[in-house]
Amino acid sequence: MEIFKKTLMYLVLGVSINGGPKACSLLNLPQAPSFHHEYSSMSCTIEIVDDVHAAIDHIHKHGSAHTDCIVTEDMEAANIFLRLVDSAAVFHNASTRFSDGFRFGLGAEVGISTSRIHARGPVGVEGLLTTRWIARGSGQVVDNDKGVVYTHKDLTQQA
């Protein structure tokens, strides 16, 4: 099973991996403190689900609606994931650490919101709109980006 190889690879690289009930049972991982735990280290929680729809249901139940990612070579599953996960940033084969205002071309990040809308006072149409970021990668990670110049280009939106 490919998940065993990937899990072992990340453990060797120093990532601390906790599991949900099914992952703990199949991969002999320590139990996650909670599916709602936010790590501030090289740690993560994984769970094994039956299919992409079960993964999306799991994310909608336990996620923050901030940033979510699918790692897969299955383009059909990736497209379903990118379309149906209701998060502000949804990635395919790229680190969730890319979810950063500066990297998105917004300047210095001054705050993070997981609300659907945060307008106050008189509001025009622009104040009622939110942005949903979608990124496709091929395994990119955030690693020592000192000296890297980020640029922002408007891209045409695909339905």
In this prediction, what percent of the chain has a pLDDT beyond 70? 84
- Say if residues 90 and 132 touch (Cβ distance below 8 Å): yes
As a whole number of Å, the CA-based R_g of the chain is 17
Domain boundaries, the chain: 1-48, 64-142
DSSP code string of 24-62: HHHH-PPBPS-TTPPPSSSEEEE---SSHHHHHHHHHHH
Model pLDDT for residues 84-143, shown as the tens digit of each residue: 999 999 999 988 888 877 777 777 777 777 677 777 788 888 888 888 889 898 887 777
Q: Please tell me the pTM assigned to this model.
A: 0.74
CA separation for the pair 12, 130 (Å, rounded): 39
| DSSP β-bridge partners for residue 18 | 45
